[in-house]
Amino acid sequence: MSEVPHDELERLKAAVERAGIELREPQLLSLGDSATIAVNDEVIAKVTRFPGQQSVAHREVAVSRWLADEGVPAVTAVADAVDEGSYAVTFWQRVPEHRSGTAAEVAACLAQLHAIPVDSAPELEEVQPFVRVADRIDASPLDVEDKQFLHERLDELQEQWPPPAGLGTAILHGDPNTGNVVATPDGQVLVWDLERFSIGPREWDLTLQAVSYDTCGWLSDKEYGEFVAAYGHDVTAAEHYPIFRDVRELRMTSWLANKADQDPAVRAEAQRRVACLRGRHGERPWSWQAG
């Protein structure tokens, strides 16, 4: 595991003191929009890395508690969110033994979530598919030409959003990849990473697994077929699927580009993704590598 970055560690130290949580030997688990850090054997923390995300952090804790009331198994918040300046820290029950969910398990969770009446959710906002995309592009180490292309693509897709929601609106997870739905050894399936919960077209949730299949090549025909069967709908057949797909591809590319200075292999993959979007690698699937 990598060392916890200095700024995130200092925010964590201040937050655990205020929350009354014991900090033992902090270990960095992942580094993305937030730093996910093991605080001790029972608790992990998420420390925001972009300023102005306090409301998102507090809403994520509220969503966790609301899901428990709705009977949807989800990661458990062990304390209220703690604001640190313009940043925030949240604390979660650690699940040491787990595996990533299957495509079918993700579909079953989405079917359960999408069936909950929209007006029962805690003050959720409309889905914001372009949140932080421009900031990630600007902060990336990509060359000027690639950045300009990504900004132009962002402008084009913003003009096309929102496409008609053929399946209607629902409570969305927002980022339902197989790493954000996990299963424990006793068979319990839990929903993780709740910060992108929102209200919007069901296609937005369904498209992530579709892109994993027909853009990235991460799912086999069998796995994607199981996803479709478990949810009961194939979003790739929707008239406006290409718009949802293109936005997802841009988000995935900008997210990886923002991490491109961490590892030469990540940088090479980010550059390859941009080249794919620019039409330099033929038709999908492009067999993207996970970042």
**Predicted pLDDT of residue 29:** 92
Residue 12 and residue 19: Cα distance in Å, rounded?
A: 10
Is there a contact between 198 and 125 (Cβ–Cβ < 8 Å)? yes
Mean pLDDT in residue range 245-260: 96
DSSP per-residue letters across 220-264: -HHHHHHHHHHHT--GGGSTTHHHHHHHHHHHHHHHHHTTTTS-H
Q: What is the pLDDT of residues 72-88, one digit of tens each?
A: 999 999 999 999 889 99
**Predicted pLDDT of residue 264:** 93
**Predicted pLDDT of residue 234:** 98
Confidence (pTM): 0.91
Q: Domain 6-96 has what CATH class?
A: alpha beta
Residue 29 and residue 39: Cα distance in Å, rounded?
A: 10
Q: Given pLDDT bands bounded at 50, 70 and 90, which one contains residue 50?
A: confident
Mean pLDDT in residue range 144-166: 96
Where are the domains positioned within the chain?
6-96, 100-277
Mean pLDDT in residue range 201-207: 98
Q: How deeply is 199 buried, as exposed, middle or buried, from its count of CB atoms within 10 A (0-12, 13-18, 19+)?
A: middle
CATH number 3.30.360.10 is the correct assignment for the domain at 100-277: no
**Predicted pLDDT of residue 3:** 86
Residue 241 pLDDT exceeds 80: yes
**Predicted pLDDT of residue 22:** 96
Residue 67 and residue 193: Cα distance in Å, rounded?
A: 13
Residue 167 and residue 220: Cα distance in Å, rounded?
A: 25
Beta bridge partners of 92: 44, 77
Q: What are phi and psi of 103, to 5 degrees?
A: -60, -40
**Predicted pLDDT of residue 107:** 97
∠ CA 18-9-173, nearest 5°, is 80
- Looking up tokens 């941009």, which residue turns up? 274
